C-alpha cells in the first residue's frame, strides 16, 4: 500500500498539470516556444548586438588590445577609405552576379523538372539536384580549384576553340559560388512551376498568345516571388562567403576576407566590417518584401 502511494500521487499531479495546460492553450504555446525564443534572443540576436556594440570600440595601436571607448572612427574609416569601399562594392556585385546567374540557369532546369519530365522521373531529378548539397563544402570548392587550374579541365575543354579557362580570380569566384548555391534557386522555382495550373497555359494558348508572351504574362508573374525567395539564399550566402574567394579567388578580396584578416589585429574594425553584410541583407529583404518572396520561403 505504501509503495503505491507515490506512484498514485505522481499520476494525479501529471493529470492535473495536463488538464491545466489543456484548458490554457496560450500557456501551452508559451511553454513550447520559450526554449527556441530564448535561444534566438540570447545566442543569435545577442551575438549580433555584441557585434554591433564592439564596432564602436577602438584598438590600442601599440598593444593591439581592445579599448572599450565609444567612437565612430571605424565606421568613418569604412566609408572614407577607398580600399574598404571597393571591397564592399565588389562583394555586393559578386552577390548580385551570382544571384543573376543562378536565376538564369535555374529557370530552364526547374521548368524541365517540373513541367517537361515524366512524373515518375521528377522525384529522382529533384534528388539529383539536391545531391551536391550532400557533399562537403570544401571538397566542392577544391574540386573547382582543380578544374580552373592551369592545364585543368577548363583549359582542356576550351583548348579546341583557342580559349583558356578563367584561372583564379573574380570570375572563378563567381562561377564557383554559382555552382555552390544553384540548388537553393532551383528548388523554389521548381515548386512554383509545379504548382502552376496547366489551365492557365492552355487558356493563354487558346487566346493566341505565343510562348514568349505566355512566359512574360502568365509564367513569370507567378514564379517571380519564388525567384526572389531563392535570391535571398544565393545573395546572402554569397555576400558572407570568404572561403571560396581564398581558394579560387587569387588576389581578390571580399568582405569576409577583410573580417578574417582583422579579427586578431583589430577586432572592432572587423566588427564594423561584419555589420556591412547584415545591413545590406536587411535592406535587400526590405526591398523584395513586396514581391511576396518572404511568404515563399
Q: Going by C-beta distance under 8 Å and a sequence separation of 6 or more, which residues neighbour residue 8?
A: none
**Confidence band for 270, pLDDT divided at 50, 70 and 90:** confident
Confidence at residue 217, expressed as pLDDT on a 0 to 100 scale: 77
Q: What's the alpha-carbon Rg for the chain, to the nearest Å?
A: 26
CA 125/CA 106 separation, integer angstroms: 13
Mean pLDDT value of segment 209-215: 76
Q: Tell me the sheet residues that pair with 58.
A: 67
Cell of residue 102, nine digits:
543562378
CA 258/CA 266 separation, integer angstroms: 11
CA 178/CA 188 separation, integer angstroms: 16
Q: What is the dihedral of CA 138, 143, 146, 147, to 10 degrees?
A: -140
pLDDT over threshold 90, residue 187: yes
Confidence at residue 5, expressed as pLDDT on a 0 to 100 scale: 47
Q: What is the 3-state secondary structure (H, E, C) of 249-293?
A: CCCCCCHHHHHHHHCCCCHHHHHHHHHHHHHHHHHHHHHHHHHCH
Cell of residue 246, nine digits:
581564398
CA 38/CA 33 separation, integer angstroms: 8
At residue 58, φ and ψ (nearest 5 deg) are -125, 175
Chain centre to alpha carbon of residue 254: 16
Mean pLDDT value of segment 150-154: 86
Chain centre to alpha carbon of residue 65: 34
pLDDT over threshold 50, residue 1: no
pLDDT over threshold 80, residue 179: yes
Mean pLDDT value of segment 58-63: 75
Mean pLDDT value of segment 262-278: 84
Looking at every residue in the chain, the average pLDDT score rounds to: 83
Q: Going by C-beta distance under 8 Å and a sequence separation of 6 or more, which residues neighbour residue 235?
A: 95, 96, 98, 99, 281, 284
Cell of residue 174, nine digits:
563567381
Say what percent of the chain tops pLDDT 90. Answer: 25
CA 133/CA 180 separation, integer angstroms: 8
Nearest to 268 by CA among 79, 52, 81, 80: 52
**Confidence band for 54, pLDDT divided at 50, 70 and 90:** confident
Helix axes 82-111, 170-194, angle to 10 degrees: 40
CA 236/CA 249 separation, integer angstroms: 18
pLDDT over threshold 70, residue 21: no
Amino acid at each position: 500500500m505504501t509503495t503505491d502511494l507515490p506512484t498514485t500521487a505522481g499520476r494525479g499531479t501529471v493529470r492535473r498539470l495536463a488538464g491545466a495546460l489543456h484548458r490554457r492553450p496560450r500557456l501551452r504555446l508559451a511553454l513550447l516556444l520559450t526554449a527556441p525564443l530564448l535561444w534566438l534572443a540570447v545566442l543569435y540576436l545577442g551575438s549580433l548586438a555584441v557585434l554591433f556594440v564592439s564596432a564602436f570600440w577602438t584598438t590600442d595601436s601599440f598593444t593591439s588590445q581592445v579599448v572599450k571607448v565609444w567612437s565612430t572612427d571605424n565606421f568613418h574609416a569604412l566609408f572614407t577609405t577607398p580600399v574598404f569601399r571597393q571591397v564592399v562594392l565588389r562583394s555586393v556585385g559578386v552577390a548580385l552576379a551570382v544571384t543573376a546567374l543562378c536565376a538564369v540557369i535555374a529557370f530552364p532546369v526547374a521548368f524541365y523538372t517540373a513541367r517537361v519530365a515524366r512524373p515518375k522521373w521528377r522525384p529522382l531529378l529533384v534528388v539529383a539536384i539536391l545531391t551536391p548539397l550532400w557533399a562537403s563544402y570544401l571538397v566542392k570548392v577544391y574540386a573547382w580549384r582543380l578544374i580552373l587550374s592551369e592545364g585543368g579541365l577548363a583549359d582542356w575543354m576550351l583548348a579546341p576553340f583557342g580559349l583558356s579557362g578563367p584561372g583564379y580570380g573574380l570570375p572563378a569566384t563567381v562561377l564557383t559560388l554559382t555552382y555552390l548555391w544553384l540548388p537553393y534557386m532551383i528548388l523554389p522555382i521548381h515548386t512554383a512551376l509545379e504548382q502552376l495550373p496547366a489551365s492557365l497555359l492552355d487558356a493563354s494558348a487558346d487566346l493566341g498568345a505565343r510562348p514568349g508572351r505566355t512566359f512574360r504574362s502568365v509564367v513569370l508573374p507567378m514564379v517571380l516571388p519564388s525567384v526572389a525567395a531563392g535570391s535571398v539564399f544565393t545573395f546572402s550566402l554569397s555576400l558572407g562567403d570568404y572561403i571560396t574567394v581564398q581558394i579560387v579567388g587569387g588576389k581578390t578580396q571580399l568582405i569576409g576576407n577583410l573580417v578574417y584578416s582583422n579579427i586578431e589585429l583589430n577586432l572592432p574594425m572587423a566588427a564594423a566590417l561584419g555589420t556591412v553584410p547584415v545591413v545590406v541583407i536587411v535592406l535587400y529583404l526590405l526591398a523584395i518584401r513586396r514581391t511576396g518572396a518572404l511568404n515563399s520561403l
